[in-house]
Amino acid sequence: MKTLVWLREDLRIEDNAALHFAAANGSLQAVYVLPEGLGEASRWWLHHSLSSLAQSLESDGVDLILKTGRVSHVIPKLARKLDVDQVVWNRVYSPSGMEIGRELKEQLNNDEMPNRSFNAQLLIEPGKVFNKQGGPFKVFTPFWRHCVQTMRIDECLQTPELEGFSHSVRGDELDDWGLLPTKPNWANHFPDHWSPGEEGAHKGLRSFLAAKVNAYNGGRDFPAQDNTSKLSPHLAFGEIGPRQIWHATQEGINGGWVDAEHGRKFLSEIGWREFARYLLVHFPHLVRDPFNARFSEFPWQDQPKLVSAWQRGQTGYPIVDAGMRELWQTGYMHNRVRMIVASFLTKHCLTHWQVGMDWFWDTLLDADIGNNTASWQWAAGCGADAAPYFRIFNPILQGEKFDKQGEYIKRWVPELGKLSAKYINKPWEAGANELDQAQIKLGSTYPYPIVDHKQGREGALAAYQQIKK
């Protein structure tokens, strides 16, 4: 039997349900259709991920055929040209991903082309999990407790033996897609930090479980330390699946080399990823609308100057600026700092969470529709299970708590490199002598705060009062 495998957010060979099914049924070819609306940083990752996957597939005689256009046109046409017996793919759990899958299925059914889809993206099929009342969970803790108690996670699939078949179809050239930035090449530092592709993903998981996981719970909050897995872009592109992470971590816990408390905390973060996709499946409007409908009336302000300073890491709050510059230079930002910068934008700057979400979408290598949407709504106070709006992060205290010595700040904001720990989170309080010695001229080498913390906090609370009634 000949199968066409449509690859999507599952750019891997191992534990890939659709690919495995195709391989078990005979020979196959693979196709990838360029999705619309990818952010710029994601395009960089995608280029390298596709290039790496194409090389791995090629060694088994399988081509990764690249195509652009509407999936429901492109794939049925390709299936006819390749004269395959069936088309298979893994589902993408996002409103647009599900719609595209549905449309393709309908077309293939009309064409009488056998087709089948699988779950390789999540541990938990969102349509199968409900609370006691039969509705969807809206709060993480009971959702995850229910999942951990009831889910049975199958073993990972065995590495498939792939076999291609000969054909004369020509796809696009990857280079012609122009996914990489050129002038300027703002991604030139990315390769210092990342190795896109399945091999890089497994290396990342192995080194995390071998050397970092036992400091994860607690350690994961300190941005200067390297205590998290950095698997997020690999997960976003499906170079590794959550089931592989689950079993590798459990194996470590059972074998005694992964401390159970830390291992479970790490797996619960994988659970947050599950919950974010789950929410999108049950509440698809969340991509654009607040979960808490009251926030539709929130008096967000149009603040282009503040937004620009935030994007450039020039807010005058060192921990915020360090995060925004880490993002720009590496395509990544530490989770604790993501929460701080998101709170600052939505509360101190009263800027709509979608503005921040769109910037993250464009600049994050791990841009993920589920995690990005849920996290921005959480930070803005309007999401499911969100931080209450009135809990406003104080960027000075957050910095003093999680980057007391300013190690992280100094890494990304070098102009503050000589400032003492006492003032590193509030340079405007340092005296003239201290600033002179640290070669800092406020308002010139480093900005004054663009919003006074106390005023920003009061402004946010006053705005919240307007929708509270």
Q: Which of the residues are catalytic?
A: 269, 272, 300, 335, 353, 376
Q: What is the dihedral of CA 434, 438, 443, 447, to 10 degrees?
A: -110
Q: Which is nearer to ligand FAD, 122 or 416 (CB)?
A: 122
Q: How many CA atoms lie within 13 A of 166 on its CB side?
A: 0
Which window, 36-44, 138-146, 374-382, 386-394, contacts ligand FAD (CB under 6 A)?
Answer: 374-382
Q: Which of 49, 72, 117, 228 binds ligand FAD (CB under 6 A)?
A: 228
Give the shortest CB-270-to-ligand FAD separation in angstroms. 5
Q: From CA 428, how far away is CA 203, in angstroms rounded?
A: 43
Task: Answer yes or no whether residue 375 interacts with ligand FAD by CB under 6 A.
Answer: yes
Kindly state the tokens that stand for 134: 């039969």
Q: From CA 31, how far away is CA 78, in angstroms rounded?
A: 9
Q: Which is nearer to ligand FAD, 230 or 243 (CB)?
A: 230
The 3-state secondary structure of 125-179 reads CHHHCCCCCCCCCCCHHHHHHHHHHHCCCCCCCCCCCCCCCCCCCCCCCHHHHCC
Task: Answer yes or no whether residue 230 interacts with ligand FAD by CB under 6 A.
Answer: yes
Q: At what angle do helices 95-110 and 71-82 cross, to 10 degrees?
A: 40
- The sign one gets for the Cα dihedral 68, 159, 119, 374 is negative
Q: Which is nearer to ligand FAD, 21 or 360 (CB)?
A: 360
Contacts of 229 (CB under 8 A, 6+ apart): 204, 205, 208, 212, 213, 266
Binding marks (x or -) toward ligand FAD, 340..359, rule CB under 6 A?
--x-----------------
Q: How many CA atoms lie within 13 A of 139 on its CB side?
A: 5
Q: Which of 232, 249, 315, 398 binds ligand FAD (CB under 6 A)?
A: 232
Q: Which of 367, 382, 413, 451 binds ligand FAD (CB under 6 A)?
A: 367
Contacts of 185 (CB under 8 A, 6+ apart): none
Q: Which of 9, 63, 326, 366 binds ligand FAD (CB under 6 A)?
A: 366
Instruction: Count the residues of the shown chain that bind ligand FAD, applying the rule CB under 6 A.
Output: 27
Q: At what angle do helices 198-211 and 242-255 cross, to 10 degrees?
A: 30
- Segment 244 to 273, residues that bind ligand FAD, using CB under 6 A: 269-270, 272-273
Give the shortest CB-80-to-ligand FAD separation in angstroms. 37
Q: Which of 21, 295, 310, 360 binds ligand FAD (CB under 6 A)?
A: 360
Task: Answer yes or no whether residue 339 interacts with ligand FAD by CB under 6 A.
Answer: yes
Q: Which is nearer to ligand FAD, 76 or 204 (CB)?
A: 204
Give the shortest CB-112-to-ligand FAD separation in angstroms. 39
Kindly state the tokens that stand for 246: 């689950």
For residue 240, which of 6, 7, 21, 10 has the smallest C-alpha distance? 10
Which window, 138-146, 158-166, 229-237, 301-309, contacts ligand FAD (CB under 6 A)?
Answer: 229-237
Give the shortest CB-26-to-ligand FAD separation in angstroms. 34
Q: Residue 456 class from Cβ within 10 Å (0-12 exposed, 13-18 middle, 19+ buried)? A: buried
Give the shortest CB-385-to-ligand FAD separation in angstroms. 11
Q: Residue 355 class from Cβ within 10 Å (0-12 exposed, 13-18 middle, 19+ buried)? A: buried
Q: Which is nearer to ligand FAD, 361 or 464 (CB)?
A: 361
Residue 395 belongs to what H/E stretch?
A: helix 395-402
What residues line the site for ligand FAD (CB under 6 A)? 220, 228-232, 235-236, 269-270, 272-273, 276, 335, 338-339, 342, 360, 364, 366-368, 371-372, 375-376, 379
